Amino acid sequence: MDSSDASSFRPRQFDLIVFDWDGTLYDSTALIVRCIQAACADLQLPIPSRVDAAYVIGLGLHDALAHVAPTLPKERVPELGMRYRHHYFQRSHELSLFEGSLDLLSALKSRHHWLAVATGKTRAGLNEALENVALRGVFDATRTADETQSKPHPLMLQELMAEFGISPERTLMIGDTTHDLQLAVNAGTHSVAVSYGAHEPAAFANYPTRFVAHSVAELRQWLTQHA
């Protein structure tokens, strides 16, 4: 019996595994940053740095754009959002999952974990992304920022846990930003961080993460052994 076979007989520690989308499963961080910068340029606003633009990834779009454009009147934030969407949807067909993500999700499904997504994307945006990478039906539930509270408010995770009747102790949140990790703290769940997305991994030290994965392969190995 090889190690992968043996792992299928280990008791599960987590019944529900919740993934962030952008920067965790979906290789979209660089495009999102460029689109935020382009939208700001369109409205002749100060253009945020890559670090500042990447920081807001994971928040709901309104909150994210209000943060990167603090001088913009609140009533004009939707206008900035329209420009962001214009740039994003022109290039979104170029995006793909991080290499190894499909195999990772398949391995978790074979162990009968509930799988979910908690994302700052809109429902329309997530549905389009899932269609693009043929992941419709892989996740047992999803939550987006326009249908519940934006991260790091705990409601996204609370709704997912309630849907399956899973306790916080049996739930794992996986994400690439401090917003994801604070979401887990606020909801009382465990968390794992990935370092290949939007936020610098040094920021993760302030959170009680179970593990920091530096690649999808490392994430899969940890989940095989510990999830």
Query: Digits of tens for pLDDT over the chain (227 positions)?
Result: 344 444 445 678 999 999 999 999 999 999 999 999 999 999 999 999 999 999 999 888 999 999 999 999 999 999 999 999 999 989 888 888 999 999 999 999 999 999 999 999 999 999 988 988 878 789 999 999 999 999 999 999 999 999 999 999 999 999 999 999 999 999 999 999 999 988 999 999 999 999 999 999 999 999 999 99
Bond into 152 cis (ω within 30): yes
Is 10:38 a contact under the CB 8 Å cutoff? no
Catalytic residue among 15, 20, 176, 180: 20
Cα–Cα distance for residue pair 67/62, rounded to 1 Å: 9
Catalytic residue among 15, 22, 27, 176: 22
pTM of the model: 0.85
Does residue 15 have an active-site annotation? no
Does residue 20 have an active-site annotation? yes
